[in-house]
Structure 1
């Protein structure tokens, strides 16, 4: 049976990927930390193989799972909450490189890295992700495993971290919070619905497994994944406000922009379109589905997060 390894399987992106491939009938190895909450995987725990990455040897662990079709690296440290730079580098570069090398030793057909569209100057997180991409290019030279970098725009969707921007605005509006303090909202972002991101990864796995099997050679490839449309943050917040029927006051301009704020970001989808992938959900529908999920599951998930 074809095997897909997903790191960061208990996270937002990782859990959606794990669920997709498990329901597709693949053998899924879900890499998680010992302290990870598994509520996002509750409906597929009986059909995936959980493997703790805090204990044991990741190299030996992957070798034991051969043959491996794909390793999807979704684990990351965002550097939030005052964590040390050393820990961020350890996770996003050193440990990530160990996983990539382990994929080569296990003769995985392809290694897909969930990267970022943010420029490296924005934050230590973005810098570390770009530096890891440089290591992947180096590792790809001469390896039979194909390395694929996926530059992700701003994801949103069901079961995201409640502290993430879209989720926090939805929750505030659903609760009819008295006031949401916001920036002017003039910055434009490419907001992409999680199910479109999952479909993009699934297409990339399918394509690059096929290419590796035909050519028996690796290489490096990079893709941008987003909606292909840049929308102002203000427009998105106002859409959420309207869709929730909220009475919350939207206080635009009450907060300053973050340091190194990116004022415009939009994915170039030309490479993905050549693989016959394009987004299936526009912003209105993606937000509608996301709001419906939070309306039903919000309080339960907040208890899990707390």
Structure 2
């Protein structure tokens, strides 16, 4: 299958490229300036803001499917950034180009933060209530994209990704920041850690995206482990693997602006397509810490 992959140099993008290439798919990888690694592909250097040049290439390349991951996700900034609105507009313009070029399957990346977090276990048919501009724009992408695809007779699946972690994540995010601090013998200030989150290895996220593209799936799909844990439990596991668990300073940081007590996802709908997480949390964290041991600089 000929797959157009956006955000191919990003955290999830690199692993998705690997999943697609391993499965034998032909990939056109869009990336502005980061290295594109993970498997053989044709690299398209560009930006969604320059859709004119991308349109010409897509009309010649004729993708059968698109996995759209490109978005603005700078840690500490992205949740309320106005860049989310620009990304939403560019994403919908990209979808229109894909429809015009005959692409028949689109997978868009959303977030579990689209849901009403007070609903308990989060299922695809549950209520939504985004609390950030990022989540609101992701929800809008799924809703508007679905209507555009329906009108064109194209299959679109919108993926609500829970809490991915794994090798290559931005070092400013929690798991790598914690691992690097402990490996370096430094104290790590943390919240109380009693909040529950659904962590999933990025490789399993990538496999879920691949399965959806191959299956011609439509609708909303959770990509979650279905086995949520407390943040404290995850941090203590990282401390056990990396050493220096006594350096984690629980309770030193206040809760963040958006900090629901429980976020757990039901991935039954995706499991019905043959997908299942391959890595237990301890195994995935051990792989991640080991990766940072060799990539700390």
Q: Given the two structures, how large is their TM-score scaled by the length of structure 1?
A: 0.86
The CA distance in 2 between the partners of 1:82 and 1:245, in whole Å, is 30
Counterpart of 1:201 in structure 2 is 209
Give the superposition deviation at 1:43. 5.8
Correspondence 1:116 to 2:125: no
CA RMSD of aligned residues (A): 1.9
Correspondence 1:274 to 2:272: yes
Alpha carbons 1:79, 1:124 under 8 Å: kept: no
Alpha carbons 2:195, 2:260 under 8 Å: kept: yes
Distance 1:279 1:99, change over 3 A: same
Give SS of 2:295's match. helix
The within-5 A match list for 1:243-282 is 243-246=241-244, 249-282=247-280
Give the superposition deviation at 1:82. 5.0
Residue 37 (structure 1) aligned to one of 17, 34, 38: 34
Gaps of 5+ in 2: 115-128
Distance 1:286 1:43, change over 3 A: closer
Give SS of 1:192's match. strand
Give SS of 2:219's match. strand
Distance 1:79 1:246, change over 3 A: closer
Counterpart of 1:188 in structure 2 is 196
Correspondence 1:126 to 2:139: no
The CA distance in 1 between the partners of 2:222 and 2:291, in whole Å, is 27
Counterpart of 1:60 in structure 2 is 56
The within-5 A match list for 1:46-85 is 47-53=41-47, 55=50, 56-66=52-62, 68-78=63-73, 80=75, 82=77, 85=81
Counterpart of 1:96 in structure 2 is 91
Give the superposition deviation at 1:269. 1.3
Distance 1:82 1:197, change over 3 A: closer
Counterpart of 1:28 in structure 2 is 27
The CA distance in 2 between the partners of 1:231 and 1:82, in whole Å, is 26
Give SS of 2:113's match. coil
Q: Given the two structures, how large is their TM-score scaled by the length of structure 2?
A: 0.88
Give SS of 1:50's match. strand
Alpha carbons 1:181, 1:254 under 8 Å: kept: yes
The CA distance in 2 between the partners of 1:226 and 1:247, in whole Å, is 27
Deviation string for 1:237-256 (max 9, x for gaps)? Answer: 00000111226521111111
Deviation string for 1:157-214 (max 9, x for gaps)? Answer: 011110111111111111111x111100011000000111111111111111xx7xxx
Distance 1:146 1:263, change over 3 A: same
Between 1:101-110 and 1:136-145, the stretch displaced more is: 136-145
Give the superposition deviation at 1:73. 0.6
The CA distance in 1 between the partners of 2:193 and 2:287, in whole Å, is 23
Counterpart of 1:215 in structure 2 is none
Deviation string for 1:126-180 (max 9, x for gaps)? Answer: 1111111121122122222211000000000011110111111111111111x11
Give the superposition deviation at 1:42. 4.3
User: Number of paired residues?
Assistant: 280
